[in-house]
């Protein structure tokens, strides 16, 4: 039997673990596995690689390499696109569709399966989760997030020491359009305060809180989600920036907008701070080749689990989920959820992880994040 696998959305440091996990499991069951280059774009172009022909050691080296080795896409299929996908599936007698991606990718599978059903074409589809934003419903966390959180923690750790050496205010702008999980990881690195999209961002309050930290500590390291928004739900950048870029899913592209520079200038004017610096972690946080060990392991296992669900035959579709079973020592298992529970929905950071009064991550939030990122360097001070 022939199946197809593809990777969609923003790459992560461990997305190829999921690919390899799925392919190796499929090979075990004698499945023929086609890989589509650049997600659904490669399906309609019939741009395929026969992955089950590849040697295990090649696949294992691919697993260690960051960012979607098959290539990715931001395409969201419309009706014509889906008809084309289905025609290709029929032509190649593909009976299983595995898409590694975020909630948009889950939605894509759902739409394609709907079209197959209408066309009476028998096939199954499984979503393999990934996202550095960590915003998929039904999951304790999602593959890709722990490695990105590891980078954020380590980067802030270094910046915190740099800021202690040359005191001032340092703003770290961190990925996360709607969910503050990744920014929360800045707390593991020593950030004094955290600003997340889940909590309304008030410019005056922000200035006052940063000033208070600076007065008390003689310096301030601040983690800020790129997606921070005001009480009316408008991204903060809209208070300062006029032009913005919107992708095919209607997502505003924020990474390349200079939020860090905007807030730096704002603080200099508002509280008269002299040394204010900012770093936007940008694309490095999702692709840095130093994955969290737990993330590498879990990413491989969710790929494997998707194939096992396909073989088991208990359901025709679903999205693999991660369930944490213990914290010390950390342990997790894998579930399966309906595509509809994941598709187009956004999980937010639990309220109990964040203290909006102090803008800090609670001990509960820290305990949640700590095992995911893996060992961090030891920091010693005089």
Using the rule CB under 8 A, give the single segment among 104-112, 194-202, 285-293, 349-357 that binds a second copy: 285-293
Does residue number 73 form part of the binding site for a second copy (CB under 8 A)?
yes
Residue pointed to by tokens 């896409």? 73
Between residue 243 and residue 272, which ones bind a second copy under the rule CB under 8 A?
255-258, 260-261, 264
- Min CB(7)–a second copy separation in Å: 7
Does residue number 58 form part of the binding site for a second copy (CB under 8 A)?
yes
Tell how strand 169-174 and strand 124-129 pair up.
unpaired
Identify which of 313, 315, 314, 311 has the alpha carbon closest to the alpha carbon of residue 31: 311
Q: Which of 104, 107, 133, 135 is catalytic?
A: 133
Using the rule CB under 8 A, give the single segment among 226-234, 279-287, 308-316, 334-342 that binds a second copy: 279-287
> Mapping DSSP to helix (H, G, I), strand (E, B) and coil, where does residue 353 land?
helix
Q: Single out the residue of 2, 76, 161, 249 in contact with a second copy (rule: CB under 8 A).
A: 161
Q: Single out the residue of 97, 99, 288, 353 in contact with a second copy (rule: CB under 8 A).
A: 288
How far is the C-alpha of 337 from the C-alpha of 141, rounded, in Å?
A: 14
For residue 227, give the DSSP letter. T
β-bridge partners, 277? 170
- Min CB(237)–a second copy separation in Å: 12
H or E stretch at 41: helix 40-44
Share in percent of the chain as helix, strand, coil (round to 5): 40, 20, 35
Region class of 318: left (phi > 0), else alpha (psi between -120 and 50), else beta: left
Sign of the dihedral through C-alpha 208, 209, 212, 217: negative
Q: Single out the residue of 6, 26, 100, 159 in contact with a second copy (rule: CB under 8 A).
A: 159
- Min CB(257)–a second copy separation in Å: 8
Identify which of 176, 223, 168 has the alpha carbon closest to the alpha carbon of residue 197: 176
Length of the chain: 382
Tokens of residue 379, six digits: 């920091």
How far is the C-alpha of 52 from the C-alpha of 62, rounded, in Å?
A: 14
Angle (nearest 5°) at CA 26 between 20 and 32 = 105
Residues 173, 259 contacting (CB under 8 angstroms): yes
Looking at the Cβ atoms of 60 and 87, the one nearer to a second copy is 60
Q: Single out the residue of 79, 122, 246, 382 in contact with a second copy (rule: CB under 8 A).
A: 382
How far is the C-alpha of 78 from the C-alpha of 57, rounded, in Å?
A: 38
Identify which of 374, 306, 304 has the alpha carbon closest to the alpha carbon of residue 342: 306
Site string for a second copy, 8-47 (x = CB under 8 A): --xx-x---------------------x--x---------
Site string for a second copy, 116-155 (x = CB under 8 A): --------------------------------------xx
Using the rule CB under 8 A, give the single segment among 97-105, 165-173, 303-311, 332-340 that binds a second copy: 165-173
Looking at the Cβ atoms of 164 and 252, the one nearer to a second copy is 164
Using the rule CB under 8 A, give the single segment among 119-127, 158-166, 177-185, 205-213 that binds a second copy: 158-166
Residue 93 annotated among the catalytic residues of the structure: no
Looking at the Cβ atoms of 115 and 283, the one nearer to a second copy is 283
Between residue 180 and residue 209, which ones bind a second copy under the rule CB under 8 A?
none
How far is the C-alpha of 157 from the C-alpha of 172, rounded, in Å?
A: 11
The site that binds a second copy (CB under 8 A) totals a number of residues, namely 59
Residues that bind a second copy (CB under 8 A): 7, 10-11, 13, 35, 38, 49, 58, 61-62, 64-74, 154-155, 157-159, 161-162, 164-167, 170, 255-258, 260-261, 264, 277-284, 286-290, 377-382
Active site residues: 133
């Amino acid at each position: 039997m022939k199946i197809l696998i593809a990777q969609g959305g923003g790459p992560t440091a461990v997305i190829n673990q999921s690919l390899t996990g799925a392919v190796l499991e499929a090979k075990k069951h004698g499945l023929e596995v086609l890989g589509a280059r650049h997600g659904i774009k490669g399906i309609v172009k019939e741009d395929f690689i026969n992955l089950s022909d590849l040697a295990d050691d090649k696949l294992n080296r691919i697993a260690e390499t960051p960012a979607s080795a098959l290539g990715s896409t931001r395409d969201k299929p419309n009706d014509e696109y889906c008809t084309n996908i289905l025609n290709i599936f029929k032509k190649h007698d593909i009976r299983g569709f595995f898409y590694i991606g975020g909630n948009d990718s889950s939605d894509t599978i759902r739409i394609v399966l709907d079209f197959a059903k209408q066309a009476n074409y028998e096939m199954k589809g499984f979503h393999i989760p990934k996202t550095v934003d960590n915003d998929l419903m039904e999951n304790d966390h999602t593959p890709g997030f722990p490695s990105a959180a590891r980078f954020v923690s380590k980067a802030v750790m270094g910046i915190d020491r740099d800021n202690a050496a040359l005191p001032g205010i340092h703003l770290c702008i961190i990925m996360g359009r709607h969910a503050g999980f990744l920014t929360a990881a800045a707390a593991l690195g020593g950030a004094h305060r955290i600003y997340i999209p889940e909590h309304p961002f008030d410019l005056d309050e922000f200035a006052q809180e940063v000033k208070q930290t600076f007065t008390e500590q003689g310096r301030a390291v601040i983690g800020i989600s790129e997606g921070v928004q005001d009480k009316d739900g408008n991204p903060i950048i809209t208070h300062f920036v006029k032009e913005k870029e919107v992708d095919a899913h209607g997502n505003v592209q924020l990474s390349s907008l200079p939020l860090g520079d905007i807030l730096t200038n704002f603080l200099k004017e508002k509280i008269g701070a002299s040394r204010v610096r900012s770093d936007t972690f940008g694309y490095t946080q999702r692709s840095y080749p130093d994955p969290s060990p737990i993330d590498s392991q879990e990413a491989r296992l969710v790929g494997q689990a998707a194939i096992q669900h396909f073989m088991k035959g208990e359901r025709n579709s679903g999205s693999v989920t991660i369930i944490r079973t213990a914290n010390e020592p950390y342990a997790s298992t894998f579930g399966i959820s309906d595509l509809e529970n994941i598709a187009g929905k956004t999980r937010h950071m639990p309220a109990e992880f964040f203290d909006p009064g102090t803008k800090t991550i609670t001990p509960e939030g820290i305990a949640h994040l700590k095992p995911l990122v893996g060992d961090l360097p030891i920091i010693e001070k005089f």
